Amino acid sequence: MSVPLVQLVGIPQRGDTRGGLAVAELGGALPFPARRIYWIHGTQPGVSRGFHAHKRLRQLCVCVAGSVRMSLFDGRREESVILDSSATGLLIGPGLWREMHDFSADCVLMVFADAEYDEADYIRDRDQFIRHVHSS
């Protein structure tokens, strides 16, 4: 059996009658220390994003508002998942081509990453990515 590309983690919910509160902490939902946090928001209608892979970076993606469809490709198989809840995170390890489609207008996608931004860690060409995974 092949390992699923889509790896979801539950984000503990600590809300109460006052409202919601979700927690991503090391040893809980977050399997690595976060060295960078960014969020994607205000994506224009019809726009898809991503279209790259990372050589080493690990990320946890949480859609804290709205919805987005995440597509993952390992060079052989493609799997898709809709993120529409701050109670679920998507772990993306190295060596996965990712695309983000069907952003809702109100989507806020928060991303926890285990390293600072480094353009040298990106593979932005799909054919180069396929060669990379088949040679490693």
What is the set of active-site residues? 52
**Vertex 94 angle, CA 45 and 61, to 5°:** 40
Smallest separation, CB 124 to ligand TYD (Å): 8
Nearer to ligand TYD, 34 or 130 (CB): 34
117 binds ligand TYD (CB under 6 A): yes
Site stretch for ligand TYD (CB under 6 A), options 11-19, 34-42, 63-71, 128-136: 34-42
Nearer to ligand TYD, 13 or 41 (CB): 41
Of the candidate residues 7, 49, 55, 133, the single one contacting ligand TYD (CB under 6 A): 49
Nearer to ligand TYD, 38 or 131 (CB): 38
58 binds ligand TYD (CB under 6 A): no
38 binds ligand TYD (CB under 6 A): yes
**Do residues 121 and 57 make contact, with C-beta atoms less than 8 angstroms apart?**
yes
Distance (Å, whole) CA 48 – CA 43: 8
Q: 39 pairs with which residues across the strands?
A: 110
Distance (Å, whole) CA 31 – CA 45: 33
40 binds ligand TYD (CB under 6 A): yes
Q: Given its phi and psi angles, is residue 29 left (phi above 0), alpha (psi -120 to 50 degrees) or beta?
A: alpha
Distance (Å, whole) CA 57 – CA 129: 15
Q: Which residues here bind ligand TYD, judged by CB under 6 A?
A: 36, 38, 40, 49-50, 52, 117
